[in-house]
Structure 1
Amino acid sequence: MPELKHAHRLRTGRYSESGQIYLLTAVLLNREPLFRDFYNGRLVVDAFRTAEREEFATSLGWVVMPDHFHWLIELQNTQLPKLMARTKSRIAVTLNRSVGRQGPVWQHGYHDRAIRKEEDLQAVARYIVANPLRAGLVETVGNYPLWDAIWL
């Protein structure tokens, strides 16, 4: 599979720190647009909320695109690999059950970027939720149903 070719590089230098803010991105296998369906996309939102209830992360902003998600979080009481493994697994199991499919849902790995203290978190959140605009999916962010940010 071509998407596995550089997956090992995603783990190089990965460091988890409780209280640190991260921008996380995960992509569906072969970029299949499973989240184009609103109800499938809501499964991602439910997984984000579960991570909050488990006190693994505080969601600051997110957007669920047709074939990936971006999630701005403050990490709590866990490590990034555990948070992402649980979140991606929860989504995959629920999605497969919901649509009657089997097999892998996600590309291996994920991308993470620690946000520096001096970065403007609101600007990062605005950039995240504007993804549907840049992708040409909607003309205004308010017309896209699968996003949220604590500042907006």
Structure 2
Amino acid sequence: MPDKFRNKYRISSTRLQNWDYGSNAAYFVTICTQGREHYFGDIVNGEMQLSPIGKLAEKYWMEIPQHFPFVQLNAFVVMPNHVHGIIVIDRNDDINRDAVQTPKLGVSTWKSGTLGVIINQYKRAVTINARKINPHFAWQSRYHDHIIRNDESFERICNYILSNPENWYEDRHKTD
């Protein structure tokens, strides 16, 4: 049974205990829309056709390295109700982790460039702009991540992400 905090049930964290999510690593991330609502477009003949909000989701994902210079992006796809992507945190010792500048996202400085901060700022940028198109746009409050630990896993996950649109009808995130 989940723990309670202030008399409300809490869902236990899915994060790996004792792992520093600001550490150099490759992370497979899945972020779903609230209620798995289809805000991002449709799959037509196995290809994703982005809606205006889907184009925002793609645009702001591609801009992540501009705001977090120690981040490299790899495979990525926008699906009708979620995004999948690989974020690689690759910090050099000379980058000050506690002073990451993100002015375009409306935040002057963020303490720590952890995966959680990166995803939070991505979701924030998409939400602010998506609500100009559809005021009901929202993300699920959490996201799923998986630390990629070897080349074989990295390759398998890249293939999964890139083939996701053609496998949409078998996708567990699919809703009608």
Tell me if both proteins adopt one fold, taking TM over 0.5 as the criterion.
Answer: yes
Alignment CA distance shift 1:8-1:94 (3 Å): farther
2:156 to 123, 126, 130: 123
Q: Distance in 1 between matches of 2:160 and 2:86?
A: 11
Higher strand share: 2
1:38 aligns with 2:51: yes
Task: Give the TM-score normalised by structure 2.
Answer: 0.66
Q: From 69, 80, 83, give the equivalent of 1:69.
A: 83
Task: Give aligned-pair identity as a percent.
Answer: 24
Given that 2:39 and 2:51 are in contact with CA atoms closer than 8 Å, whether structure 1 keeps it comes out as: no
How much has 1:112 moved relative to structure 2?
A: 0.5
Q: 1:10: which partner in 2?
A: 14
Q: Deviation string for 1:35-83 (max 9, x for gaps)? A: 0143211111111122111215211010111000001110245101100
Q: CA deviation at 1:114?
A: 0.4
Q: CA deviation at 1:6?
A: 6.9
Give the aligned residue type for 2:89: L
**Contact 2:54–2:78 (CA under 8 A) maintained in structure 1:** yes
Counterpart of 2:28 in 1: which secondary structure?
Answer: strand
**Distance in 1 between residues matched to 2:10 and 2:161, nearest whole Å:** 24
Query: Which of the residues 99, 115, 123 maps onto 1:80?
Result: 115
The answer for unaligned runs of 5 or more in structure 1 is 138-152
C-alpha contact 1:10 1:109 (8 A) present in aligned 2 = no
Q: 60, 68, 73: which is aligned to 1:47?
A: 60
Q: Kindly indicate whether the alpha-carbon contact (under 8 Å) linking 1:18 and 1:74 is maintained by their aligned counterparts in 2.
A: no
CA contact (8 A) 2:31 2:83 kept: yes
Deviates more, 1:120-129 or 1:61-70: 120-129
Q: More helix per residue: 1 or 2?
A: 1
Q: Per-residue CA shift, 1:73-125, capped at 9, x if unaligned? A: 1024510110010001111111001x1415x6111111110001243433321
CA–CA separation in structure 1 for the residues paired with 2:77 and 2:27: 14
User: Normalised by the size of structure 1, how large is the TM-score?
Assistant: 0.75
Structure whose alpha-carbon radius of gyration is higher: 2
Report if the CA contact (8 A) 1:10-1:110 is conserved.
Answer: no
Gaps spanning 5+ residues in structure 2: where?
A: 1-8, 42-49, 91-96, 98-112, 171-176
Match of 2:74 in 1: 60
Distance 1:59 1:7 in 2: 29
